[in-house]
Structures are given as structure tokens and as C-alpha cells.
Structure 1
Amino acid sequence: MDQLGFEPLTPVAFIRRSMHVHGENIAVVDGDRTFTYEQFGARSLALTGVLAAYGVRPGDRVAALCTNSHVMLELHNAVPMRGAVLVPLNIRLAVDELAYIVEHSGATLLVTTDELVAAAREVCERTGTRLLVAGETYESAVASAAPATVDVDDERALLAINYTSGTTGRPKGVMYHHRGAYLQALAMAFHAGLTSDSRYLWTLPMFHCNGWCFTWAVTAAGGTHVCLRAVDPAVIWRRLRGDGITHLSGAPAVLRLISDADGAAGPRLAATVRVGTGGAPPSPALLRRFEALNMSVQHLYGLTETFGPIVVNDWQSRWDAGSPETVARLKARQGVGNVIATPVRVVDAEGRDVPADARTSGEIAVRGNNVMLGYYRDAEATAAAVPDGWFRTGDLAVRHPDGYIEITDRRKDVIISGGENIASVEVERVLDGHPAVLESAVVGVPDERWGEVPVAYVSVRPGSAVSAEELVAFVRTHLAGFKVPKAFVFGEIPKTSTGKTQKHLLRGQARDKDLH
């Protein structure tokens, strides 16, 4: 018997609503092309018919190798409306890596934007997958196709498979469901304060956790998606100063590019831009620079396994009265579970909650509507990650007396030197506070006497200079002597495509060079 008042939750409900409620509003800006919500919705519906013509049936996987574009946004609506499963591909991966993901996911169709055609063709040749290029053929097909939608009858059905960055091995396919994406999109719209007047600049890759579900959140609010096909600081600043941008998101690495670009030297922005950041803890120094630009940063925390940000630094207005240093320190905390999340825990090795004393470290554990179904075709990895119904994130944190959590380190990145634990994040925050330092990464390397010692990799701000001796003296004024890096390496710091520092590479380099 039908349940009175029950309707399965799915994020495609947002485009159906907005094309009617906000039909005349500009939905998408992509270069010199713009679409209203009525047009955006009609194109998404027509794309379901195109997918059907390419043989896509309910349950099939559709891979997307696309830049941040109207095409990628249309796929986020059309693929689930067809009853199929979206597989967003990291556009920065090598062909071998892309072919593995396409094959592992079982994708029957690969859709690509014209910037990535060469890689897409090679992947399809290797895997036997059909290819649809978003060019003239795509446009003519969308213009003439009739919708071929399928109703969602199970809100826990598979919606998307998002592959992890795979920095230390083969990437794992994280399974998203309709209910989780719907609720996470609403949470992002709520915490970001999105409205129909919002203009969201896509500095965050849409392939990463479905753009933290902002691909659906902006649509839910009836706001404007301003696509950015490549992260170009000059273009970003032109958009910020000339296009009424109200929101953007990105890893601290992207924020550093923005704050250090020539455009940042101009006048302070007239209207406040709300910025969400995650992927790595932003330093208080970076947060202060953004405040000076009239860009208000909200710290978010999450993983691919949690549909993006599951934790938000829910700002309390009474904190505004604090000193700039205090405000920056409070903003650097990760925060509390977002509005739809199950309360986040910090647990010890036995799964018990640690005290909220801002000192006792434990591992962040999560569960609830915005946590994955599991790893695709990998029951063993799923079981290992969820030993007792709570997903272990691998991140270590403390809980403050007010309930807000603060990451101290990745579990694998803690440095144990002479029996003392050194949190690499703590040392990095001090180093990043030096005016000549753009960013830093601290890793542990083996040492015969101490077991491990810290080594710092440092990227220096353009036009600045600093020596290892100066940095040693600077760190000593803030931290205990055993936490001071024993060696410094100056240069560019390697990152994943989503802005995370590749510390496993740095540890290998430090061991090879015997840096201590």
C-alpha cells in the first residue's frame, strides 16, 4: 500500500522545481553561453532521451570526463533522471587511471567536453565504451530528443560512484544514493546561505564529490552557476570584481592562488563573498588574508565517503568580538556536524568517545544519511572502514568543550619522535604564519636515535626570501624544541588534483635524500 505523503528523495527534484519557480532566472553561465532555468531544465530532460538513444538503460553507469561546464551540470540532472548512475571522472588523471575507473565501474557510455576529447577517445578505445562528445552532435541531439525519464522509486538506490584520489593505491569507488545527495545539497544551500540571487563561481571541480553537492544545491536555491573551465586566478578576479559573484569553494591551495594573485592587490571587494574551504586545514594566516579582501571563509570538513562536507564551522556571532587572532583560531576549527548529519564522534582505539577537553585526541567517526553506501565491488574495504556501524575517517581530532572538533592530524601523518607525538598540522600552522611562507608540509622521517624526526617542505611567497635558520628560530618561539623541523626543503609542494598535499611522496623524498 502506498504511504500517504511519502515521496522518495532525489536531487533531480530541484531542477524540476526551479525550471517552474525560477524559470526566467539565469541558471548557467558558461563562457559566452547562458541558459535560463526553463532552458536548463528542458536541456536536462532532453538529455535523458539522448542517453536512451545511446543505449543507456536504468542502472547503467555513465562516465563523465568534463570540465566545469553546462554539460557537466546537465549530466548531474539527466543521468539520474534516466535512472542511471553517474561516474564523474577526475580530469587530471592519466589515461591509464581513467581507463581503470571506467572499466571498474562498468560504464557503458563516456561523455566528454571538447577540451578532453583526446584522452576520452583513448580511454574508450581501451575499454570498448561508447563515446559522446559535447560538441555539435551533442547540441543537435539535445535540441531534438524527447525526454526518456524514469521515476525514482527507491531513494537509497545508487545515484553516483565517486572514485577516491587513490594517492597510495588503486582508487575506490564510493557509492552515493539519492537520499544522501538530496539532503546534502539542502545542507550546503542552508550553510552557504544560497538564494535565487546567489552567483556561485565554480572554482571547485564538479567531478569532486559531485562538487560537494553544490551541483544540486545551487539549482535548489534557483541561483546562478558561473562555470569556470580552468582555475585561472586572473579570470577568477575578473569574475569577482565584475560579475557579482557571491559564493565560491575550494581547497586552501586554490584559496592561496586567489589571495596571492595580482587581482588581490586591488581595492577590497565591495560586497562580501562567502567562501567554503576544505580538503586541508586552512591556516589562520590564510583566513586573515581573506578577511582583508572582504571574503568570509567558512571551514568545512568531509571526505568523498561523506558526500563532501559533513562537518561545518557553524559560526557564532558572539565570537566576532574576539581579537583577530582569536577569530582566526576559531575559524580554523572544523566544527560540528552539518544540519542534516548525525552528530559526529571522536573515538579512541576501542570506539569510546574521548573527553571534550581540547587535548585528548581520537579518530573522527561518522554515520548517517550523508555517508556512503559502501565501496563499489569492494566489500572487504567497506567492512574495514566501518567496523561497528561508524565510518572511520582516518583523521585525528580533539573535541573542544563547546562540542566543536579540531583536526590534529591524519592518523598516518602523526610523527612519533622520542616517544612524543608531533602533530604535523600544528607545525605547519606555525610555519604558514611566517610572512615569507606561502605554504608548508611537515612529514616524519626515520631517525636512529629518535625513531622519527620532523622535516619541513616549504614553498616561499613570490618576491620573498627566508632561510632555514630563520624558520628554525621562528618555530622555536611558538613550539617546543622537539617539534622544530630538523631539515627544510624549499620548493613546490606536490598536490593531488583536489588540493591535498601528497605527503607519501614527501616522506619518500625525505628518506631517499636522508634529510635530517
Structure 2
Amino acid sequence: MSGKQSQYNIGLDKTPANFVALTPLSFLARTAAVYPDHIGAVYEGRVFTWAETYQRCRRFASYLAGRNIGNGDTVAAMLPNIPAMNELHFAVPMAGAVLNALNIRLDAASIAFQLDHGGAKIILVDPEFTGVISEALTLMKGPKPFVIDVDDAAFAGGKRIGEIEYEDALSQGDPGFAARLPQDEWDAIALSYTSGTTGNPKGVVTHHRGAYLNAVSNILAGNLGQHPVYLWTLPMFHCNGWCFPWTVAAAAGINVCLRKVEPSKIFALIKKHGVTHMAGAPIVYNTLINAPDAPKGKTARPVVGLIAGAAPPVAVLEGAESIGIKLTHVYGLTEVYGPASVCAEQPGWDDLPADQRAQLKRRQGVPYPLQEAVTVIDPETMQIVPRDGETVGEVMFRGNIVMKGYLKNEKATAEAFAGGWFHTGDLGVLDEQGYVIIKDRSKDIIISGGENISSIEVEDVLHKHPSVLFAAVVAKPDGKWGEVPCAFIELKDNASATEAEIIAFCRAQMPGFKTPKSVVFGPIPKTSTGKIQKFMLRDEVKSTKAISA
């Protein structure tokens, strides 16, 4: 375009009066001002209003500033879903710093790598994790972070390893501290590490603008409205809790904090606090569905649940409805702030039979309200695939709810953004409505005798078996076919099944070449967010040839 001036530009510039950088910090300030006495968080008998939460965040931001923590500095946290973890999502960026929420299931070597790579200046530690953090600190190669303990009366055990306790640090801070708001909404707000299965994980850098937009998108996509009561079953360390610390603040809701996923406690909290919303992986809902004390029918309080994953089994979607949880499927990755697409419901779906409704609701769907695009593209031609439900391509995102890039890794960043789209590595198709349907991770497709087999499709059939709690399918080397499906099965309590029974069950519902050729029974390894660790199963198949039970 030429440099021609438009009449709509002359003398009409950005000023402090008409332009403010987007940041989710504004949500907390507004809610504390408008609803100061509304409850903002509850945990183990403790209650915090939004005014108190705002003051606590400002105090800790002030404390950080007093330790010369500011722009570009990293503050790490190894905490469960307790109020302090929620507060850090505001206090750390208020000081101008970047929050690195660590996965609480990581080993010491992985933590040491992340602390070194991110250059953490401070780390906050819960007593449950002081052992692994102590070991990680000894493994670090660079300067060690200043350690702050976060005591929790709900946890018995552990020891202090820090130089100050969180509440003591708060008491030293100024409740009137003026937040260091970003001058550029592109400034980093958080650092999250991918759950890399080979080599070191990549550090995903997200910005204030994306956090702001995805927080609002959660309200729209999840139908939160105003004053939701949100139960923290999803780890706050996972993609910053899908941005829900900022979402709940924007909606002036209540954070019902939960240290550990325990079905009995979850049902009790839902009843006690009138929980309206929750989020999690299929494993969380599957555990609730199969809990012996799960409320059924009219005894179940209605809850809206967001569920994420490649494609939740139909049995999970149907089972959740039986205990009062209406699920909405969302999809995303750490690189897009957690969920950035949603299986947007259409009028009439609620009138369909449960199995038909579940098939529609398990799709990955369409862009989040404030995400620009999600679609399926041929990675060779960078052309969008036809809406035929058959042509496979790579699922890609584009928009404001996409990371800045990978920390200190320009090559990986360039590869991820090749062609002007973020490449997810997931394979999928587009149906006639333009909804994305994931078929598999590229590395999880099983190629047997030249035929492509979706492990997700086989797993969905396995989850229909009445004895199956969890199922995972990986490729097993085969001399004749190259590779064949091998099923790993975790049975429900007091349930039984044989290999022959499982194989016969699958053969009755799918072509023979897709049917598992061997079955392994036992606990299935999962990440802390409930994702099945298929790389471990693939290793087991290679090392043991998957001896069947």
C-alpha cells in the first residue's frame, strides 16, 4: 500500500485516553473494585474476598519488587491448586515478571533443566515437593533461585527449605503497590514447558494479550456468565490452568481450590459450594463416573464441564451426563494457552439420542470466540483440505491466542510457524460443517499392511467395554504387516476381562485389520494432567513384545 494518509488517521492517534495494552491484570482490579466483598476463593475452611485477594496479590508483587524482581525476570512455582497459586498468576506479572508454573509430577532433573533454562530468580515451593526441589537445586548448573516456602495446613509432612514463608513475605509487602502494567501487550506473562517425551521440553512463552483474550474466550465458550463457581480439578500449572485464574477474575466468580483430585471430596465440594463449572482431561471425568459414591439422576447437581483431549470416548461423554455433568469439548495445546477451539453446540443437539449427541460433541470443533482460526491443512501445499471428513491433514491454528514462540529456540519457533500457521502435529479432517476432527498424533497413526489405523478409533471401541476403565493403543512391530495395534487396558475395580474377550469385542465392532492383535492388562502410565504416556507404552512394546495377560 502507498503512504497515502487517510482522513481517519490525521490527528487521530493512540493516546492514554483511547488505547491501553490488554492484560488480564485489569480483570482483578475491576472485580476487586466492583465486587470487593464477593468471595473470590475458598480452600479448606479459608475464605478470601476479591478485595482481600487483590490486596494479597499487590503485597506479594511489592515484595518481589523489593527483591529487584521486574521486567524479564522469571518466578517459578511448584504448587498444587491452592489460593497462593491462583494469586501468583496476578502478583508475578504485577511486578513485571514472568510466571513459570512447574509440573508437580516432574522429576528433579527435569525441574533443574527448566529452572536453568528459564533463569528462575525465585521459586515458591509447597511442603509436599521440597524433597524433589532440594534435589533439583543441587542439579542446577546456573545460579540457584531464592526459595520461598508456601505452608499448607492441609498437608501433613514435608519441611521448609526456603528463606522465608509466603505469608511472611506478604506481610512485608505494600497493599497499595501500583502494578507495573505492561506498556506492550506483547510482553511475556508466562513461561510453560511442553511435556516433551524425547529430549528436553520446549519453553512456551505467552503474552499478556493472548492471556487476556483467552480468558474472555473461556467465558464465552464455556458459558460461564457472571459469578460462576469454578472447581479446580485442572492443574493450575497446566497452561496456567487454561487461563482460568484470569477467567474467574474476569467473571467475578469463586475459585474452589482443591489440592488433589479425590472423587468423594469433589462431590462434597460441588454440593457445599454449588459448583457450576469445572474443567479437566477425560481421566478426571472417567474417575468421577466410576466412583462408587457418584450421585446419579436427580441427586446429581448440574455442572458444566469442559473436557479436553484428542477425542474423549463416547462412554465418557454419556457417563458424565448420568452424574449431572454436561460436557463441552475443547481442544488446544500449551502453545495456544490451553484450549483455543471448541465443539460449539448447535440447536437441536440436546434432542438427539445420547449416542448421536456424544458423537457430535467429541469433535475438536471450531475456533474459540477470540481465536482467529483453526483448521486442517495439507502441510506440503499449505492448502485447507476439503470438508469431506476423509482427507487427512495437519491441524493448525492462527490468531492472537498463539504463543510468542519457544524460549531460546529460534529454529523450533520458525518450524512451528512455517507458512503463517501454528503447526500442532495432530492429524485430522474437516467434516461438512467445517468442524475439525482429530484422527491422531502423527506419531500415533498405526500403518498396518499399508492401511492407516487411528489409535483413537480403536480406543473409543475399547472404552465401550463394561470392564474397561482406561485404554490406550499403540503400534506393535509385526513381521507380516509391519505393525499391528496393541491394546493396553486398565480395568475397573472388581472387573475382569480376558485378552480373547477384548479382541472379540473389538472384532464385532470394527474391521479385522483394526482389531488389537494383543492386549496388555495393568496400570497405564499417565501425565499429571491425565494424558496417557504413549511413548512409554511404545517402549514397552519394543522391549517386551507386549506379552499378553
Normalised by the size of structure 2, how large is the TM-score? 0.91
The Cα shift of 1:111 comes to 1.3
The residue identity in structure 1 corresponding to 2:340 is I
Alpha-carbon separation, structure 2, partners of 1:125 and 1:413? 37
CA contact (8 A) 1:300 1:309 kept: yes
Alignment partner for residue 165 of structure 2, among 137, 162, 172?
A: 137
Are 1:346 and 2:376 counterparts? yes
The Cα shift of 1:140 comes to 3.0
Alpha-carbon separation, structure 2, partners of 1:268 and 1:56? 52
Alpha-carbon separation, structure 1, partners of 2:535 and 2:136? 28
Are 1:491 and 2:522 counterparts? yes
CA contact (8 A) 1:14 1:216 kept: yes
CA contact (8 A) 2:329 2:361 kept: yes
Q: Kindly tell me: are residues 469 and 122 of structure 1, through their superposed partners in 2, closer, same or farther at Cα, counting changes over 3 Å?
A: closer
The Cα shift of 1:501 comes to 1.1
Alpha-carbon separation, structure 2, partners of 1:268 and 1:399? 38
Alpha-carbon separation, structure 1, partners of 2:365 and 2:399? 17
Report SS of the residue matched to 1:434: coil
Paired residue total = 516
Alpha-carbon separation, structure 2, partners of 1:311 and 1:272? 24
The residue that corresponds to 1:86 in the other structure is: 99
Q: CA RMSD in A?
A: 1.6
The Cα shift of 1:73 comes to 1.0
CA contact (8 A) 1:167 1:496 kept: no
The residue that corresponds to 1:149 in the other structure is: 179
The residue that corresponds to 1:26 in the other structure is: 39
The Cα shift of 1:144 comes to 4.0
Gaps of 5+ in 1: none
The residue identity in structure 2 corresponding to 1:115 is E
Are 1:514 and 2:545 counterparts? yes
The residue that corresponds to 2:391 in the other structure is: 360
Farther off after superposition, 440-449 or 172-181: 440-449
CA contact (8 A) 1:334 1:404 kept: yes
The Cα shift of 1:288 comes to 0.7
The aligned runs of 1:250-289 (5 Å cut-off) are 250-264=280-294, 268-289=298-319
The Cα shift of 1:118 comes to 3.2
Residues 12-39 of structure 1: CA distance to partner in whole angstroms, max 9, x if unpaired? 1110000011111100112121100010
The Cα shift of 1:59 comes to 1.6
The aligned runs of 1:10-409 (5 Å cut-off) are 10-127=23-140, 128-135=144-151, 137-146=165-174, 147=177, 149-264=179-294, 268-350=298-380, 351-409=382-440
CA contact (8 A) 1:204 1:211 kept: yes
CA contact (8 A) 1:110 1:124 kept: no
Alignment partner for residue 471 of structure 1, among 502, 516, 531?
A: 502
Farther off after superposition, 341-350 or 65-74: 341-350
Residues 157-181 of structure 1: CA distance to partner in whole angstroms, max 9, x if unpaired? 1111101112222111001000000
Alpha-carbon separation, structure 2, partners of 1:284 and 1:292? 13
Report SS of the residue matched to 2:405: coil
Farther off after superposition, 80-89 or 272-281: 272-281
Question: Identity of aligned pairs, percent?
Answer: 43
Residues 157-209 of structure 1: CA distance to partner in whole angstroms, max 9, x if unpaired? 11111011122221110010000000000000112222443111100000000
Alpha-carbon separation, structure 1, partners of 2:349 and 2:181? 47
Alignment partner for residue 437 of structure 1, among 468, 471, 478?
A: 468
CA contact (8 A) 2:75 2:98 kept: yes
CA contact (8 A) 1:279 1:498 kept: no
Farther off after superposition, 346-355 or 415-424: 346-355
CA contact (8 A) 1:189 1:214 kept: no
The Cα shift of 1:474 comes to 1.4
Q: Kindly tell me: are residues 113 and 55 of structure 1, through their superposed partners in 2, closer, same or farther at Cα, counting changes over 3 Å?
A: farther
Alpha-carbon separation, structure 2, partners of 1:123 and 1:129? 11
Alpha-carbon separation, structure 2, partners of 1:280 and 1:251? 10
CA contact (8 A) 1:10 1:178 kept: yes
Report SS of the residue matched to 1:496: coil
The residue identity in structure 2 corresponding to 1:48 is A
Alpha-carbon separation, structure 1, partners of 2:389 and 2:463? 22
Alpha-carbon separation, structure 1, partners of 2:332 and 2:23? 21
The residue identity in structure 2 corresponding to 1:465 is S
